[in-house]
């Protein structure tokens, strides 16, 4: 069993990191709202950013094994920054727009649009959520890399 984990650690560790962060969000949401929301296990957004944790853990593991001057480490760092920028920038902006659109549609008499489902408002992350996720990823990568 340990041999399999070590052989596939570049897949297992990032996915386990994602799973445990999402599980934490689910449990935290359950404790604070007293409601079980299974969508939290797969949903985006919230503290900390599992996206950031996954890509930083992977980049850290690659840096430890291949060296920080290797091309694959460079690729993984660039990939991590793109993912974190997207999480805190593009997806967060889309979430803000969804919140505003939901508010407009909910305003009586403002629109004649009939909406069957609301837009998802929690899509991205605040910079602190991205930073905390990246920090967790760094620790995980250093421990398991």
Higher pLDDT, 58 or 95: 58
- Cα–Cα distance measured from residue 134 to residue 94, given in angstroms and rounded to the nearest whole number: 22
Nearest one of 132, 142, 103 to 119, comparing CA atoms: 103
Q: Is the pLDDT of residue 124 over 80?
A: no
Q: Which distant-in-sequence residues (6+ apart) come within 8 Å of 134 by Cβ? A: 49, 52, 53, 56, 80, 84
Domain ranges of the chain: 2-108+118-144
Specify the pLDDT at position 95. Answer: 65
Q: What is the largest CA-CA distance in the chain?
A: 64
Specify the pLDDT at position 122. Answer: 58
Give mean pLDDT, residues 83-101.
73
Specify the pLDDT at position 13. Answer: 95
Q: What is the pTM of this model?
A: 0.77
């Amino acid at each position: 069993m340990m041999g399999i984990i070590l052989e596939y650690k570049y897949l297992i560790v990032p996915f386990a990191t994602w799973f445990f962060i999402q599980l934490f969000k689910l449990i935290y949401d359950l404790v604070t709202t007293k409601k079980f929301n299974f969508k939290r296990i797969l949903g985006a957004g919230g503290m900390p950013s599992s996206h950031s944790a996954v890509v930083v853990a992977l980049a850290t593991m690659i840096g430890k094994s291949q060296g920080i001057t290797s091309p694959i480490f460079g690729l993984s760092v660039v990939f991590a920054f793109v993912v974190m920028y997207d999480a805190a920038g593009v997806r967060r902006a889309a979430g803000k727009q969804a919140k505003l659109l939901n508010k407009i549609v909910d305003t009586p008499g403002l629109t004649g649009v009939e909406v069957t489902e609301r837009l998802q408002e929690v899509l991205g992350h605040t910079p602190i959520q991205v930073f905390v996720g990246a920090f967790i990823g760094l620790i995980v990568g250093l421990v398991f890399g």
